[in-house]
Chains A and B, each alone.
Chain A
């Protein structure tokens, strides 16, 4: 009896979803667009740093520094100014990200009492300025080391080397691709059920449903199941694109990714149902959903690391479901962490899924 009702409800949901002029297209197009475009666009790597050089020394050594700079990857010497003030103007114009100032008699004093080199970074784009200054400093340091070696002086400094584990090239893309799939599930599995139920409220069909003997658990289940399936499809499409287009395959097991995706889809769709239950129009439900999704995206560790948040915010993130899903996705994708190593995240996600789906069923009122 119950199963037959659920089947009838699901058949209706699928028919309505397919006949909707927009929803099926969004379900297909959005993951494609996000996975194909976003990894290229949402990128924190700094590809080109424009440098203005003020060479007050004009010796072989200073010219060698500039030539090496020009030859370095990611660095482009765009201007060569005669005065410091002129160089500052290029930064004002926005043509220079970094200014390198080589002091007078730099070469002559280099081996005895070196004058410091000035590197000025444009902080308007904090990330670019910081990385740019570091690139320039690295390049100059390399040149100076060579010069010292050529003149037979052994460097006094100990060298340190950095090796990036799990993401050897520190490719931001590898960091983003698992996170983008999280974002897709947040949007598709969170918004669609909320809109779906709010729409039934607006058109009045929910009233006809409410006088039938359909129980609210069955009704809510019929709203959740289609979006689990959609969530799994989205993750599958995401993984295929990640592998084919970006050559990024999960290090860990695919089953683990699916398990996390199922739990997280359930969390998001339950949340969507709860939002629809407390709002009476589609507009209201959209606004509440936006507020929730915004917090999820900014506090879930999607773009900015949780470890750099203030303490109070870090504690808050324990209550934010995407935090766990993002951790699982990145760990499984990049490190290949096993289920045992992520039991905390899976338990938290599973607990939230159960809690929220129960709340979703309880807040659905058949009576006004």
Chain B
């Protein structure tokens, strides 16, 4: 058994609301594991429990073989937790924040600097700048550096890329990849479905329940349905008309296109002709690759 994070039948509640409902998950050592789900799915609650900030209502979890409730003290020195909200001291400088967190964990910045060097390099240019005066992407890097300074075995990142620009986001994922290569297990949560493919394995979570856990490719394969991308000059009318077709099981907006889940007897050329007949112009209906988002829509639609 080499699961470094082992969650079994974990439940959590805020008053009467179930935040997590019978969640079970295993994360292997050295994995880059994604927790994917919309806002309010229970991702942050899961992270808080794993970071020993909140006790579970029932069920349990172990991190590095340590129980998160009984051995919460030891767990804290084995994990690096980066909460969703920026949580460093804004009035301390970059250097001071790093030194402060190192001191709390009883490590020296110098000894563990190799780990954070690639991340910290860009921050080194202004060591005396106050953390509050950094840009969003830079704040992110500083927070990650502080979470890493004690060389944790597991990194818990709660929506690290929310509110970060596209360039910084892709940079951030490169950093995660290099950390993974150094043997650190990473649990990253995100509400951006496109980031799912950057993880080795993902767990899809919605309304406190795990919808599925697997590699992104295998999860998408579960979709098991024909999918077409459609577009025309009037997208809204196209949506209405497509939904009227008996062969179209489901139709929804997907980026700049519509995605249509169809039955086997669907003929794209015929459908396009029908749409043009309805007065729509520039209609194109082409086969599309399914994504995690399509799966999400399918799974959550079934629930309703």
- Do B91 and A214 touch across chains, with their CB atoms under 8 A apart? no
Whether B105 is near chain A, meaning CB under 8 Å from some CB there, is yes
0/1 interface trace, chain A 10-22, chain B, CB 8 Å (1 if under): 0110011001100
- Do B104 and A367 touch across chains, with their CB atoms under 8 A apart? no
A81 to chain B, nearest CB (A): 67
Q: For B106, give its contact among A5, A11, A367, A368 (CB under 8 Å).
A: A5
B76 to chain A, nearest CB (A): 5
Chain A's interface size range is: 20 to 34
Whether B296 is near chain A, meaning CB under 8 Å from some CB there, is no
Given known A207-B53, A366-B53, contact A4–B106 (CB-CB < 8 A): yes
Residues of B with C-beta under 8 A to A4: 103, 106
Whether A82 is near chain B, meaning CB under 8 Å from some CB there, is no
A205–B83 Cα distance when bound, in Å, is 10
Q: For B55, give its contact among A203, A211, A367 (CB under 8 Å).
A: A367
- Do A212 and B101 touch across chains, with their CB atoms under 8 A apart? yes
- Do B104 and A5 touch across chains, with their CB atoms under 8 A apart? yes
Whether B51 is near chain A, meaning CB under 8 Å from some CB there, is yes
- Do A12 and B89 touch across chains, with their CB atoms under 8 A apart? yes
Whether A204 is near chain B, meaning CB under 8 Å from some CB there, is yes
A12–B55 Cα distance when bound, in Å, is 29
The A-contacting residues of B in range 96-111, CB under 8 angstroms, are 96, 100-101, 103-106
Chain B's interface size range is: 20 to 34
Residues of A with C-beta under 8 A to B90: 203
- Do B89 and A211 touch across chains, with their CB atoms under 8 A apart? no
- Do A12 and B101 touch across chains, with their CB atoms under 8 A apart? no
Q: For B87, give its contact among A5, A9, A203 (CB under 8 Å).
A: A203
0/1 interface trace, chain B 40-59, chain A, CB 8 Å (1 if under): 00000000100111110000
- Do A212 and B104 touch across chains, with their CB atoms under 8 A apart? yes
- Do B104 and A8 touch across chains, with their CB atoms under 8 A apart? yes
- Do B106 and A1 touch across chains, with their CB atoms under 8 A apart? yes
0/1 interface trace, chain A 194-217, chain B, CB 8 Å (1 if under): 000000000111111111111000
A350–B15 Cα distance when bound, in Å, is 40
A205–B88 Cα distance when bound, in Å, is 5
Minimum CB distance partner of B14 in chain A: A368
Given known A207-B53, A367-B53, contact A19–B91 (CB-CB < 8 A): yes
A1–B87 Cα distance when bound, in Å, is 24
- Do A207 and B103 touch across chains, with their CB atoms under 8 A apart? no
Residues of B with C-beta under 8 A to A9: 104
Given known A5-B103, A204-B87, A210-B53, contact A15–B146 (CB-CB < 8 A): no
B293 to chain A, nearest CB (A): 30
- Do B79 and A211 touch across chains, with their CB atoms under 8 A apart? yes
Q: For B73, give its contact among A203, A205, A213, A367 (CB under 8 Å).
A: A213
Whether B77 is near chain A, meaning CB under 8 Å from some CB there, is yes
B70 to chain A, nearest CB (A): 13
Whether B266 is near chain A, meaning CB under 8 Å from some CB there, is no
Given known A8-B104, A211-B76, contact A16–B91 (CB-CB < 8 A): yes
Given known A12-B92, A367-B54, A368-B48, contact A207–B76 (CB-CB < 8 A): no
Question: Looking at B81, B83, B89, B90, which has the most chain A CB atoms within 10 Å of its CB?
Answer: B89
0/1 interface trace, chain B 236-260, chain A, CB 8 Å (1 if under): 0000000000000000000000000
21 contacting pairs across A/B (C-beta < 8 A): A4-B103, A5-B106, A8-B104, A12-B96, A12-B100, A15-B96, A20-B91, A204-B83, A204-B85, A205-B88, A206-B87, A207-B87, A208-B81, A208-B83, A211-B52, A211-B81, A212-B104, A213-B73, A213-B104, A367-B53, A368-B48
Top-9 shortest CB links A-B:
A8-B103, A208-B87, A204-B87, A204-B85, A212-B104, A211-B81, A19-B91, A207-B83, A207-B87
